[in-house]
């Protein structure tokens, strides 16, 4: 039997992964990657860190773990994979099983036959069609070419002011990179919040932090780019404000690059991504697709989503490598849309659904809780973590988690992602056997403590109230008593200044007479993270108070202005 001919279109993440896995399964298959760019296997996720100066050697974006640049020679010598670079596939002939490609250096057109074809053409950065978009100084951060451009700007050190358009993952990572290059940043977001995978309150906490590094403007879009002599000089906002700058980075999202597939008659879906089944097979059984060019099911809502994440691209590529040679044996069932990004010294991550996305998806019986604590003991320089959990009220099944803070967010998100994928409940998590030693966690890990707080709430041990609800009550001038139960020295250091009364927890039992005597008075208790707030609520309830609530996450989760 002849060796199988496999062609992979696209040579960055999903493509080389599919090709390499196929080679590990069949030494004799004829495997060819056709890549539009000059480079192969680029670590796109590393671009912001190259631009930000975390490392200086560009080749590190292209290296294997052993430090060898993954160029055509590497692919041939190490993997017997032919990698044709600088070549764009311009058409697919499904009937005759051929692809046509054009070399961008020589303009030469060639054709190749395949038995199995893999499409991994990635995504395209969205760009607004507005006046001035072609001025010099406007870019995206999608390709290595873009990263080179921005890195050159860093190295030259001439540009002083930049505008980043879009407050998603890449926009925020770009802010940090340019900030580290000594550039003054204004971040513009059309929506009322940054990072829309987060709920508003959690996003506000991130915004408050980003504002210490960059000027953040929300609910305002760009109406045009202004320039002189072909060069950008300012960004004009929809409200008429002009922001002088020499650089603008557009980061308003990406769309699947599925035009080649569409033109070949392959089915695409409502997101514009190529439709694949669980074996990653397109509407043509001889053609598979993976990565940013496809759409996949969200495993919680069952709706098709575009999930442009590097980990998913690699996992899907691996599934294809196996399925094209062994027959459809392994499945990629979908995503729970787990993501994380570095926001200066904060980690910001989410998995599953936020409260607002759960409501949008039609979930009606959910419960949420916010928990704040250190990631490890104070004597080991523990850092703050703030978690918001979303669960089904009826059975405690976890459907979403958002975690932010300077602490170890990545570990927390990883725990919740596996819990959601494994259909676990907060009751399962409440006794999870996680590793513990002081350099790594608290004796009860923050994730388990978050599950405990949720269980207390589900079982009615306390009634929680969010910072946003408290703020609304203050604005409405509701008749509430706000009770901070920390010590006076803590109160001197930071305080909300929202009309609260300070009674330290240890004195509360003896000072109940300082609270309104009417037992139906609404009392909201809190401390730094609300553990003492919870204990205070229990004392008040035991003393007959019937309308006691705990400010979830305490002062640390208060996203509004504080007095101190």
> Which parts of this chain interact with ligand FAD (CB under 6 A)?
9-15, 34-37, 44-45, 47-48, 88-89, 120-123, 141-142, 170, 257, 260, 291-293, 308-311, 313
CB of 91 to ligand FAD, least distance (A): 9
Q: Which CB atom, from 292 or from 552, has the smaller least distance to ligand FAD? A: 292
Helix (H, G, I), strand (E, B) or coil at 387: strand
Shortest separation between residue 266's beta carbon and ligand FAD, angstroms = 13
If 0-12 CB within 10 Å is exposed, 13-18 middle and 19+ buried, where does residue 224 land? middle
CB within 8 A of 499, min separation 6: which ones?
474, 482
CB closer to ligand FAD out of 88 and 428: 88
For the bound state, the minimum distance from the C-beta of residue 96 to ligand FAD, rounded and expressed in Å, comes to 18
CB of 115 to ligand FAD, least distance (A): 19
The nearer residue to ligand FAD, 248 or 449, going by C-beta atoms, is: 248
Three-class SS state of 97? coil
Question: Helix 467-475 vs helix 200-210: angle between axes, to the nearest 10 degrees?
Answer: 90
Question: Min. distance of Cβ 313 from ligand FAD in angstroms?
Answer: 3
Smaller CB separation from ligand FAD, 274 or 391 = 274
| Rounded Cα gap, residues 204 and 218, in angstroms | 11
Cα–Cα distance, 25 to 327 (Å, whole number): 12
Task: Find the shortest distance in angstroms from Cβ 87 to ligand FAD.
Answer: 6
Q: Which is nearer to ligand FAD, 137 or 291 (CB)?
A: 291
C-beta of 197: minimal distance to ligand FAD in Å? Answer: 13
Report which residue's Cβ sits closest to ligand FAD. Answer: 291
Count of residues for the chain? 564
User: Are the CB atoms for 295 and 316 separated by under 8 Å?
Assistant: no
- In the bound state with ligand FAD, the residue whose beta carbon lies nearer, of 71 and 428, is 71
CB closer to ligand FAD out of 104 and 392: 104
Residue 287: CB minimum distance to ligand FAD, A: 14
DSSP codes, 194-254 = SSTTS-HHHHHHHHHHHTTTSEEE-S--EEEEEEETTEEEEEEETTS-EEE-SEEEE-S-E
Shortest CB 88 distance to ligand FAD, Å: 4
- Integer Cα distance of 265 and 133 in angstroms: 32
Least Å distance between CB 5 and ligand FAD?
17
Q: What is the C-alpha to C-alpha distance for residues 25 and 406, in angstroms, rounded to an integer? A: 43
- Measured from the CB atom, the residue of 14 and 198 that comes closer to ligand FAD is 14
Nearer CB in complex with ligand FAD: 203/249: 249
Longest dimension (CA), the chain: 91
* Comparison of 37 and 547: residue with beta carbon closer to ligand FAD: 37
Torsion over CA: 197, 198, 199, 200 (sign): negative
Helix %, strand %, coil % for the chain, to 5? Answer: 30, 25, 40
- Least separation in angstroms between CB 34 and ligand FAD: 5
Rounded Cα gap, residues 319 and 278, in angstroms: 10
C-alpha span between 324 and 305 (Å, rounded): 24
Joined together, the tokens standing for residue 462 give: 């306390």
User: Cα separation of 173 and 348, whole Å?
Assistant: 11
Distance CA 506, CA 487 (A): 9
Q: Which is nearer to ligand FAD, 227 or 269 (CB)?
A: 269
| 258/187 Cα distance (integer angstroms) | 30
User: Do the strands 346-352 and 398-405 form a parallel or antiparallel pair, or are they unpaired?
Assistant: antiparallel
Query: Cβ contacts of residue 449 below 8 Å, gap of 6+?
Result: 371, 373, 442
Q: Identify which of residues 145 and 511 has a Cβ nearer to ligand FAD in the complex.
A: 145
Distances (CA, A) of 366 to 214, 459, 497: 35, 14, 32
User: C-alpha dihedral over 43, 46, 50, 51, to 10 degrees?
Assistant: 110
Q: Nearest distance from residue 381's CB to ligand FAD, in Å? A: 26
Q: Which is nearer to ligand FAD, 250 or 391 (CB)?
A: 250
Rounded to a whole number of angstroms, the minimum distance from the CB of residue 272 to ligand FAD is 14
Contact 256, 267 (CB under 8 A): no
Q: Are 355 and 368 in contact (CB under 8 A)?
A: yes
Q: Provide, rounded to whole angstroms, the least separation between the CB of residue 338 and ligand FAD.
A: 9
Nearest to 306 by CA among 290, 320, 294, 319: 294
Nearer to ligand FAD by C-beta: 42 or 442?
A: 42
What distances in angstroms separate CA 109 from CA 83, 112, 150, 171, 498, one per listed residue? 16, 11, 33, 37, 71
Residue 514, both tokens: 């300082």
């Amino acid at each position: 039997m002849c060796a199988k001919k496999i062609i992979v279109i696209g040579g960055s993440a999903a493509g080389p992964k599919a090709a390499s896995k196929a080679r590990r399964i069949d030494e004799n298959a004829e495997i060819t990657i056709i890549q539009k760019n000059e480079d192969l296997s680029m670590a796109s996720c590393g671009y912001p860190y190259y631009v930000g100066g975390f490392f200086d050697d560009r080749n590190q974006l292209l290296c294997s773990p052993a430090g060898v640049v993954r160029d055509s020679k590497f692919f041939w010598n190490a993997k017997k994979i032919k990698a044709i670079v600088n070549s764009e596939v311009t058409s697919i002939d499904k009937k005759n099983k051929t692809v046509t490609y054009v070399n961008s250096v020589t303009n030469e057109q060639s054709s190749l036959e395949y038995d199995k074809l893999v499409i991994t053409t990635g995504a395209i950065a969205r760009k607004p069609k507005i006046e001035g978009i072609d001025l010099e100084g406007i870019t995206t951060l999608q390709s290595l070419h873009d990263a080179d451009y921005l890195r050159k700007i860093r190295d030259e050190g001439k540009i002083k002011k930049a505008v980043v358009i879009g407050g998603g993952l890449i926009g925020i990572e770009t802010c940090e990179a340019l900030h580290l290059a000594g550039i003054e940043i204004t971040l513009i977001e059309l929506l009322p919040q940054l990072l829309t995978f987060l709920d508003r309150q959690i996003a506000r906490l991130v915004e408050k932090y980003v504002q210490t590094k960059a000027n953040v403007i929300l609910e305002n879009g760009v109406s045009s780019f202004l320039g002189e002599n072909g060069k950008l000089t300012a960004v004009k906002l929809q409200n008429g404000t002009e922001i002088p700058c020499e650089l603008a980075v557009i980061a308003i999202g990406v769309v699947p690059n599925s035009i080649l597939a569409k033109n070949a008659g392959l089915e695409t879906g409502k997101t514009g991504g190529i439709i694949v089944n669980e074996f990653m097979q397109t509407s043509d059984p001889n053609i598979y697709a993976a990565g940013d060019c496809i759409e996949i099911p969200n495993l919680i809502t069952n709706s098709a989503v575009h999930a442009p994440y590097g980990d998913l691209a690699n996992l899907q590529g691996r599934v294809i490598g196996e399925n094209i040679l062994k027959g459809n044996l392994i499945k990629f069932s979908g995503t729970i849309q787990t993501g994380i990004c570095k926001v200066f010294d904060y980690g910001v991550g989410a998995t599953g659904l936020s409260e607002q996305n759960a409501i949008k998806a039609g979930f009606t019986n959910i419960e949420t809780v916010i928990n704040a604590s250190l990631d490890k003991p104070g004597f080991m320089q523990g850092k703050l973590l703030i978690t918001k959990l979303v669960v089904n009220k009826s059975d405690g099944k976890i459907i979403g988690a958002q975690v932010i803070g300077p602490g170890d967010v990545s570990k927390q998100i990883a725990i919740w992602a596996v819990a959601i994928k494994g259909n676990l409940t907060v009751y399962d998590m409440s006794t999870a056997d996680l590793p513990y030693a002081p350099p790594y966690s608290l004796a009860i890990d923050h994730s388990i403590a978050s599950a405990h707080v949720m269980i207390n709430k589900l079982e009615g041990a306390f009634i929680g109230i969010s910072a946003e609800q408290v703020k609304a009550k203050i604005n409405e001038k509701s008749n509430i008593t706000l009770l901070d139960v920390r010590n006076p020295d803590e109160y001197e250091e930071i305080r909300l200044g929202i009309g609260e009364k300070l009674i330290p927890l240890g004195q509360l039992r003896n000072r109940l007479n300082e609270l309104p005597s009417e037992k139906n008075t609404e009392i909201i208790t809190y401390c730094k993270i609300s553990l003492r707030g919870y204990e205070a609520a229990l004392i008040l309830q035991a003393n007959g108070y019937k309308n006691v609530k705990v400010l979830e996450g305490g002062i640390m989760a208060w996203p509004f202005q504080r007095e101190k």
